[in-house]
Structure 1
Amino acid sequence: MALPCKTGAAFKKYLLLLAQENCEFRMPEIKSLLSVYGGHFNNLQDAHGKSPFCILNLPSEEMARKLMKRTVCAKSVFELWGHGKTFTEFQQSVLSYPLEKMMPYLQPNSTYKIIIHTFNKTFTQKEKVEKINAMEFLPFQGKVNLQNAENIFYVLEDYGSDPNKAPKEPFEIFFGRWIADGQRELINSYSVKKRHFIGNTSMDAGLSFIMANHARVKPNDMVFDPFVGTGGLLVSSAHFGAYVCGTEIDYNTVHGLGKATRMNQKWRGPDENIRANLRQYGLEKYYLDVLLSDASKPVWRKAPLFDAIITDPPYGIRESTRKTGTQKEIIKTDLFPESHVPVQLNYHLSEIFSDLLAFAAEFLVTGGRLVYWLPVYKPEYTEEVLPRHPCLKLISNCEQMLSSHTSRRLITMEKVKDFEEKDQHAHLADGQYLPYQGHNSFREKYFSGLKKRTVREERARSEMVNAENVISKRKEDA
């Protein structure tokens, strides 16, 4: 899991307290954010897959603070003073921490408090006080201030991933000085429930911020969503200071018309649109525009325009997969009259992903990132089915469960080489798009598992055979 990193005296150990949701997304987010600030991911310890504790080597406290100003997957970061698997080992580790690094926070004219944090086990207040008193081996000289302490210290205990089988003693104990909290409050303040304009597939606020962090969105970046919908992914990028734009094929969605998604509201209001969402959060200055356009037919000048492409393509579940076109052979080349309405055709998932990667390869700046969701039917999933392109490098692949047999994977790719004309028609190897071929192929698998579909097909085949037998018998009798 760890990437190589040169560590020396300038590096210090920091402890991350991670959130317990979207666990697969946590480390890729931290890696991406560290790369934004010129740091390297150096994971010294990650006890188990769902552990909330992760020890990192970071060059400075400033970088730790920068990290926490962006992350929604981490709750807090601490300057780690010591840790151990037993209390004796823990005590020795803390006492071995350089005294000259401790003393600025233990001065007589300072105030402090100690907080006990336990993972998957609860304790009474009396038991917590006993744990605090056990830290008296440290030379605290300041005064205790529980309301407004200058220095806050944490004792953190890990009791494993199963709260029903928590051991009597913790698997590991950590002690550190609190540095900063993450941006978990953004999940509530940007909640879709409070948003002015929403749709059936509006992205969860937490996931939209994770996607922006995976894409390494920075101030003054230009971020694009080719399947923008109600613009939920634009909001998170604009929050981080990026200028946002998108395209959408559905006229009603772009203009905020038609039936409302909210309960007890029949029609959308006159001011329900993507721009109003950005205005709601004071981010309207970052709104460039949203075009009524077909993602399969890019309208942009051919050049690297975007620093990041962040999108959630339609799967055919709640939103249909459509593109403009015609099944008829075009004889005339005359311009269409103004009253012409383009015909819409089925847009197969295999085409969606091949077009998306080709678009990213051509229109992303080198070093820019493509972040998108890939629906997966688990019995058929292998890494070989992941869309690939010679200009794009796979950075991370994180799974979110949808049902017992389906999930979706957040794919992050980075443009690593300039686009050339020979890359224009780069496609996957034969068979790699097989799970996504055919209209509504994923939809059918989503609503019906492979076994159910097989049983249904066998029943239909059996009924057809029986019908044929009945017909032939009647002919013989006649």
Structure 2
Amino acid sequence: MWRRYLLWFAQEHVDFRHAEMQSILSMYNIPIKFIEKPCIQKPYWIVEFPSDECVKKITSRSVLLKNCIELWSRAKTDRQLHINLKKAWENTSSKWIIPENSDSVASDTHICPKDLIQTCCDSGLSFKIVVETFCKHFTMKEKVEKIENFSYLPLEGPVKLKNPDVTLLYVEFYGVDPNNVPEQPHDVFFGKWVADGQRDLIQQYSLKKRQFIGNTSMDAQLAFIMANQAQVRAADLLLDPFVGSGSLLVAAAHFGGYVWGSDIDFMMLHARTRPTRVGQKVRTKEESIRGNMRQYGSQARYLDVVVSDFSRPLWRDSLLFDAIITDPPYGVREPAEKIGIERENYTLSEDQLPNHIPAKVEYGLPHIYGDLLHFAARHLRRGRRLVCWYPLVREEYKEEDLPSHPCLRLVANSEQVLSKLTARRLLTYEKIDDDVPASVDRNGGAHNFREKYFSVGEVSRRERKEKQALELATNPYWRAARGDVT
């Protein structure tokens, strides 16, 4: 018999929720049944899985999932929920039952099989009941009153507040608008806690605590989401071709991947760039990508990083990766460059070669993503994934304009809003064909983000600053303070 569960998510990065969950389910080959269609306005899913083991595999990876409970009862009011639980003790069927004459919508109310409750009633099992609310605060007195309402449950074991054998969870959901909280909850839930998600990783790997970071270091939560969508597993070989300060390598190594990186920025890879932390004037000797891996106990899974120009790949054709996760430079906070020179017929003499530092030219975004997808088609194992960010102007977004390749299938596409004008999308591609054409149109997308960012976004900001300066300069009170006028 499949069991019914309540998956409770953090109400952040909502657009990434489905992509992360589907990646984890696919990675572990876990079947799922939706009792109701997931709604973006609700921070929970009601689903069925074959066993608790399936749930524990999911919670061992997800950073967007807060916790999961084995659902015993759901209703629109606490009164109906208690009625359902009392009837569940009389339920001799092994199936869920829709009660008659309930005071809530029938499809949203059910009675669980009796044996779910019986498993927690042994006198040798300690327990506790936890009360949680979403979008409303309860005092401790109110929580205790809610807990005492469950005194009819046939729980024979002792109450234990710290590390009990069984944790029962009562949740009241008041919507997602903190400025319009109703008097009564929209939904109430009760069941047995099964497992928590990996939310602790967000603080454990926070950039605030990390030794080495740069201007564009990836937020820890987003880095773990990327690793999940890339389906990184133990002993996987992974590459970040625009590695920067190595944040994505840290997340992938946590899940057991062996990580490799490359970047054209010599100074960043050698930790010689200007420090990004406020008040720090020089970098310490401990700051490096290797130092970050050592900090988190993942040094054994760190292969190395190399200085290289991605437009001129240095990897041999037979090398295959299990995953490629990366955040290419957009040309805004970090330059998007490749080796080259704009002068025609430029040559170097032999005397100049030993001390020559190659010149760089702009590496346009369509070329970056065209090269990236073609590289993934050649160097990914079949069935494995490329996960990358793609910046764009929001009002011009069209899915058909995204980068594409005949050997790759787009399996996930989530948006992170950056500003009123701009956003970036986390694109996940799966390799579906090993027969890579010798010559293929490298479709790197139709967006030229950098050009549009500065022509649409930055100009308007500059104009606002100039307008403010002009208004300030012509303000008589400001001029009087300077002594220009009386």
The residue aligned with 2:22 is: 31
| Cα displacement string for residues 189-234 of structure 1 (whole angstroms, at most 9, x for unaligned residues) | 1111111111100111111111101111000001111100010110
Q: Is the 8 A contact 1:348 1:440 kept in 2?
A: no
Q: Distance in 2 between matches of 1:182 and 1:448?
A: 43
The residue aligned with 2:81 is: 90
Task: Tell me the secondary structure at the aligned position of residue 241 of structure 1.
Answer: coil
The one of 364, 379, 386 aligned to 2:395: 379
The one of 4, 16, 28 aligned to 1:13: 4
Q: Distance in 1 between matches of 2:432 and 2:460?
A: 38
Q: Distance in 1 between matches of 2:152 and 2:441?
A: 65
Q: Distance in 2 between matches of 1:283 and 1:315?
A: 29
Give 1:41 shift. Answer: 4.2
The one of 431, 449, 457 aligned to 1:415: 431
Q: State how 1:110-125 maps to structure 2 within 5 Å.
A: 110-125=125-140
Pairing 1:435–2:426 present: no
TM-score (norm 1): 0.86
Give the AA of the match of 2:13: N
Give the AA of the match of 2:54: M
Give 1:131 shift. Answer: 1.9
Percent of aligned positions that are identical: 44
The one of 315, 321, 345 aligned to 1:300: 315
What is the root-mean-square deviation in Å for CA atoms of aligned residues? 2.5
Give 1:304 shift. Answer: 5.4
The residue aligned with 1:64 is: 55
The residue aligned with 2:202 is: 187
The residue aligned with 1:351 is: 367
Q: Distance in 1 between matches of 2:408 and 2:262?
A: 22
Pairing 1:341–2:357 present: yes
Q: Distance in 2 between matches of 1:348 and 1:327?
A: 14
Q: Is the 8 A contact 2:245 2:269 kept in 1?
A: yes
Are residues 126 and 265 of structure 1, via their aligned partners in 2, closer, same or farther at CA, if it must alter by over 3 Å? closer
Q: Is the 8 A contact 2:393 2:452 kept in 1?
A: no
Task: Tell me the secondary structure at the aligned position of residue 144 of structure 1.
Answer: coil
TM-score (norm 2): 0.85
Give the AA of the match of 2:458: F
| Cα displacement string for residues 276-335 of structure 1 (whole angstroms, at most 9, x for unaligned residues) | 110111111111111100111111111351111111111112101101123344587999
| Cα displacement string for residues 96-142 of structure 1 (whole angstroms, at most 9, x for unaligned residues) | 32222321211122211111111101122222222222323432222
Q: Is the 8 A contact 2:321 2:380 kept in 1?
A: yes
Q: Is the 8 A contact 2:77 2:188 kept in 1?
A: yes
Give the AA of the match of 1:183: Q
Give 1:183 shift. Answer: 1.2
Q: Is the 8 A contact 1:203 1:233 kept in 2?
A: yes
Q: Is the 8 A contact 1:90 1:174 kept in 2?
A: yes
Q: Distance in 2 between matches of 1:144 and 1:253?
A: 55
| Cα displacement string for residues 148-198 of structure 1 (whole angstroms, at most 9, x for unaligned residues) | 421100011111111222222211111110111111111111111111111
Q: Distance in 1 between matches of 2:410 and 2:364?
A: 23
Q: Is the 8 A contact 2:320 2:379 kept in 1?
A: yes
Which stretches in structure 2 are left out of the alignment for 5+ residues? 89-110, 468-486
Q: State how 1:64-463 maps to structure 2 within 5 Å.
A: 64-94=55-85, 95=88, 96-303=111-318, 305-330=320-345, 337-422=353-438, 424-428=439-443, 433-436=445-448, 440-448=451-459
Q: Is the 8 A contact 1:20 1:50 kept in 2?
A: no
Q: Distance in 2 between matches of 1:361 and 1:425?
A: 11
Are residues 353 and 443 of structure 1, via their aligned partners in 2, closer, same or farther at CA, if it must alter by over 3 Å? farther
Q: Is the 8 A contact 1:46 1:53 kept in 2?
A: no
Task: Tell me the secondary structure at the aligned position of residue 45 of structure 1.
Answer: coil
Q: Is the 8 A contact 1:367 1:415 kept in 2?
A: yes
Q: Distance in 2 between matches of 1:334 and 1:369?
A: 44
Which stretches in structure 1 are left out of the alignment for 5+ residues? 1-8, 457-478
Task: Tell me the secondary structure at the aligned position of residue 203 of structure 1.
Answer: coil
Q: Distance in 1 between matches of 2:252 and 2:371?
A: 23
Q: Distance in 1 between matches of 2:346 and 2:137?
A: 75
Give the AA of the match of 1:187: I
Q: Distance in 2 between matches of 1:433 and 1:420?
A: 19
Are residues 394 and 322 of structure 1, via their aligned partners in 2, closer, same or farther at CA, if it must alter by over 3 Å? same
Q: Distance in 2 between matches of 1:81 and 1:256?
A: 54
Are residues 393 and 434 of structure 1, via their aligned partners in 2, closer, same or farther at CA, if it must alter by over 3 Å? closer
